[in-house]
Amino acid sequence: MSRVWNFSAGPATLPEEVLKQAAEEMLDWRGKGLSVMEMSHRSPEYTEIFEHAKRGLVDLLSIPETHDVLFMQGGAVGMNAIVPMNLLRGFDAAAFVNTGSWSKKTAKEFAKYGRADVVLSNDADLGQFKAGSYVPDCGALVDSLKSKKYAYLHFCDNETIGGVEFNGQIEQIASQLAFPVVSDMSSNILSRPIDWNCHGLVYGGAQKNIGPAGVTLVVIEKRLLGRSIDHCPSAFEFATVAENGSMYNTPPTYAIYIAGLVFDWLKRKGGVAWAQAEAQRKSALLYKTIDDSQFYTSPVRPEDRSKMNVPFVLADESLNARFLSDAANRGLVQLKGHKSVGGMRASIYNAMPYEGVLALTEFMREFEKEVA
Ligand code: PMP
């Protein structure tokens, strides 16, 4: 068996140890004579698996008693509708920070439910940096939002397509806002600690740092439960899901089981502190390779570069196809940039080992030499 280095943005590479354990337990989970996939979600065996996964996440992210953890479905895109339906009672608008494709999509969907005020955006070029390739300055937000009555302020902590990651600016101002902060952390959750005093709601799809697609994570401040609008579907109502321990209806049982194994793996490695240090080490290596070369360019402002998704372009775009096929021949796959931006993108989530990034940078240097 030979596995490739998979740089997919998601569904993404998973820890090999987790896949092996899942394979071993596939037919017969711990002597019970059945697969996790075949268990009733209400059985004692599955209850143990579920509670273990939930505890794993709570431990890793130090989630306090003030917040509830919900395992839901619908993906982060589903959350673009589910969140407004759950938080809009008594409000007619929310504030949005646009930093790229995903945050834009969120604001657009919100407009079906209320007024989406884009209060800050990176839509205009900033000096040498093009629109979408930097984090806008949040310094003036506190003053400009002072007299506003918004249900919440939404931002996307890591723009998976543009490769732009926040640097804590929103957290720094959160306590001065009169309304809660909602963040999409689909592509960088578990890569850094989260200060829960600053986050009313964090959500994300699982298929990057958590596990397989199919489960959607919601961590919500308990005081925000019970703000849903009348026609919010019960299966998607946070209060109902919370009251029923994420079992109001059948949860994505197998995806949650794998997530639990991923949490165990991450704990063994050293938890979120380890993930953060690794993300720093891996992304620094890749960005240095790009910056040191005459052939590759990162379009993102250096201080706003994502540690999870690294887009880069080749000096000669006509070599893109050859770059991708030569890379694939070396077992380096899924490097093509998102269709909306082109170029290349290497996603280097927690489960991508340093060796994988090293192999990519060695290939990139050789390719540059070859075509020079
Ligand atoms: N937000 C971000 C930041 C994402 O990276 C993605 C998926 N790539 C989504 C939202 C959409 O997630 P899903 O496909 O699970 O709905």
Domain holding 55: CATH number?
3.40.640.10
Tokens of 305: 């570069």
Q: Are residues 212 and 298 in the same domain?
A: no
Q: What is the Cα–Cα distance from 8 to 346, expressed in whole angstroms?
A: 7
Q: Mean pLDDT over all residues of the chain?
A: 97
In a domain, 354, yes or no: yes
Does the annotation list 250 as a binding residue? yes
Q: How confident is the model at residue 1 (pLDDT cuts 50, 70, 90)?
A: low
Residue 138: C-alpha distances to residues 121, 172, 174, 175, 301 (Å)? 10, 9, 11, 14, 16
Ligand 1 within 6 A of 205 CB? yes
Q: State the CATH number of the domain containing residue 358.
A: 3.90.1150.10
Kindly report, residue by residue over 179-189, the tens digit of the pLDDT. Answer: 999 999 999 99
Does the annotation list 192 as a binding residue? no
Q: Are residues 73 and 176 in the same domain?
A: yes
The answer to whether 266 touches 259, Cβ cutoff 8 Å, is: no
Does the annotation list 305 as a binding residue? no
Q: What is the Cα–Cα distance from 83 to 229, expressed in whole angstroms?
A: 10
Tokens of 279: 């993300």
Nearest CA to ligand 1 atom 5: 160
Q: How confident is the model at residue 372 (pLDDT cuts 50, 70, 90)?
A: confident
Domain end, chosen from 213, 239, 268, is at 268
To test the pocket of ligand 1, the residue of 7, 8, 72, 77 to mutate (highest count of ligand atoms within 8 Å of its CB) is: 77
Domain end, chosen from 239, 268, 297, is at 268
Helices 271-292, 44-61: inter-axial angle, 10-degree rounding: 60
In a domain, 150, yes or no: yes
Ligand 1 atom nearest residue 158's Cα: 3
In a domain, 292, yes or no: yes
- Structurally, the chain folds into a number of domains equal to 2
Side-chain half-sphere CA neighbours of 228 within 13 A = 19
In a domain, 13, yes or no: no
Ligand 1 within 6 A of 187 CB? yes
In a domain, 332, yes or no: yes
ipTM of the complex: 0.99
Distance of CA 337 to the CA centre of its chain: 17
Ligand 1 atom nearest residue 159's Cα: 3
pLDDT of residue 167: 85
Q: How far is the CA of 208 from the centre of ligand 1 (A)?
A: 9
Per DSSP, the three-state class of 349 is coil
Q: Are residues 82 and 143 in the same domain?
A: yes
Q: Which residue has the higher pLDDT, 147 or 276?
A: 276
Q: Are residues 281 and 210 in the same domain?
A: no
| Domain encompassing residue 248 | 18-268
Which amino acid belongs to residue 127? G
